């Protein structure tokens, strides 16, 4: 499956991803500079992405715990998600996300 990632500098990367794992893991494996400081334990918000509005219905909204972490971001949008909480499945092939500046390691 493929994921389309826009970086904070507006460059776009297409990555190969594996169904059944988190978006964050796939971003890291593809060399996308995502901070992801807690490694997917949902203890920070440093893997913050904005899901393309056309995809939010398939990805879903964050739960309360995830929303609480995202509330601390200066880059919060109505389409914000933690990439560690997005579990990839075949129906998300072609997913488009934007890595938010607070998650960018660069």
Q: How does the average pLDDT of the chain come out, rounded? A: 97
Ranges of H-type helices in the chain: 23-29, 56-59, 64-70
Superfamily for domain range 2-103: Beta-grasp domain (3.10.20.30)
For residue 106, the model assigns a pLDDT of 80
Enumerate the domain spans of the chain: 2-103
Q: Are the beta carbons of 97 and 23 closer than 8 angstroms?
A: yes
Task: Give 10-residue mean pLDDT values along the chain (106 residues).
Answer: 98 98 98 96 96 98 97 96 98 98 93
Q: What pLDDT score does 70 carry?
A: 97
């Amino acid at each position: 499956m493929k994921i389309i990632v826009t970086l904070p500098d507006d460059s776009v990367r297409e990555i190969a991803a594996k169904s059944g794992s988190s978006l964050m893991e796939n971003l890291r494996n593809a060399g996308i500079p995502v901070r992801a400081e807690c490694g997917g334990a949902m203890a920070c918000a440093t893997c913050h992405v904005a899901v393309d509005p056309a995809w939010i219905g398939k990805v879903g909204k964050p739960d309360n715990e995830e929303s609480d972490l995202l509330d601390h971001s200066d880059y919060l949008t109505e389409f914000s998600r933690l990439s560690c909480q997005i579990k990839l499945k075949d129906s998300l092939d072609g997913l488009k996300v934007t890595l938010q500046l607070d998650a960018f390691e660069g």
